[in-house]
A and B are shown apart, each in its own frame.
Chain A
Amino acid sequence: SQKIEQNSEALNIQEGKTATLTCNYTNYSPAYLQWYRQDPGRGPVFLLLIRENEKEKRKERLKVTFDTTLKQSLFHITASQPADSATYLCALINTNAGKSTFGDGTTLTVKP
């Protein structure tokens, strides 16, 4: 079965710096990969989706890359702000099975 590893459970950075979160997977390459944000006491909120034939996707200060050779996705937040502090989840979507598999998340803290 698919295994997903997200880098270090917690990541602390200074405001204004770029945060880089990692999502590594084993086995098959998914057709799609999604990133979600989850705040304490709330459900995950969708941020970005990237397809296997896309190298990079951007949305405002967010950037996602997808390297099927390395079996890795990187999620970047540029010019980070304390409001970006949250847990970020990656999810792999296998269209054949029609299922999403989530990583256990990385908790980002941006310090002022």
Chain B
Amino acid sequence: ETGVTQTPRHLVMGMTNKKSLKCEQHLGHNAMYWYKQSAKKPLELMFVYNFKEQTENNSVPSRFSPECPNSSHLFLHLHTLQPEDSALYLCASSHTSGGTDTQYFGPGTRLTVL
């Protein structure tokens, strides 16, 4: 295991539901990331947090709302999603967000929006 855990591993939700994805890292890292991975497409960076501060929002729709209460935990709050938001959502952490540090990924949450 990489030291990064994600829950739930699978999630099915309707377009009117509100749900949250959780990520926790046990590596003592200061930076955490949310990525979206759709079939046949590259990993898309969504958000970056460094020392609990958001440093990157890659033009993500407001129906995705991140929260980072401390350096070890990261949430992604979901509401009024669309079917095209169905994807694997991956959390990662690294020592810092300078981009040069190796990122450690969690196993992902497979999200299906009906």
Contact = CB atoms under 8 A, between A and B. Distances in A.
B108 A43 contact: yes
Contact of B43 (A9, A95, A97, A102): A102
A43 B99 contact: no
Nearest to B58: A99
Interface stretch (A11-19, A44-52, A54-62, A71-79): A44-52
Contacts of A45: 2, 105
Interface residues of B, number: 24
Nearest to B110: A41
Contacts of B106: 43
A97 B99 CA distance: 8
Interface string A20-37: 000000000001101000
A68 interface: no
Contacts, number: 59
Interface of B is mostly: loop
Nearest to A105: B42
Contact of A43 (B55, B98, B107): B107
Contact of B105 (A4, A43, A49, A101): A43
Interface string B68-105: 00000000000000000000001110000111101111
29 contacts: A34-B102, A41-B107, A41-B110, A42-B108, A43-B2, A43-B4, A43-B90, A43-B91, A43-B92, A43-B106, A43-B107, A44-B43, A45-B2, A45-B105, A46-B103, A89-B43, A93-B99, A93-B100, A94-B99, A95-B100, A97-B99, A99-B45, A100-B45, A100-B99, A100-B103, A101-B42, A102-B43, A104-B41, A105-B42
Interface of A: 4, 9, 31-32, 34, 41-46, 49, 89, 91, 93-95, 97-105
Given A34-B102, A43-B92, A98-B55, 13 more contacts: A9-B40, A31-B100, A41-B107, A43-B90, A44-B43, A44-B90, A45-B105, A94-B99, A98-B99, A99-B45, A99-B56, A99-B99, A101-B45
- Report, nearest first, the 6 A-B pairs whose CB atoms are least far apart: A43-B105, A98-B99, A102-B43, A104-B42, A46-B102, A93-B99
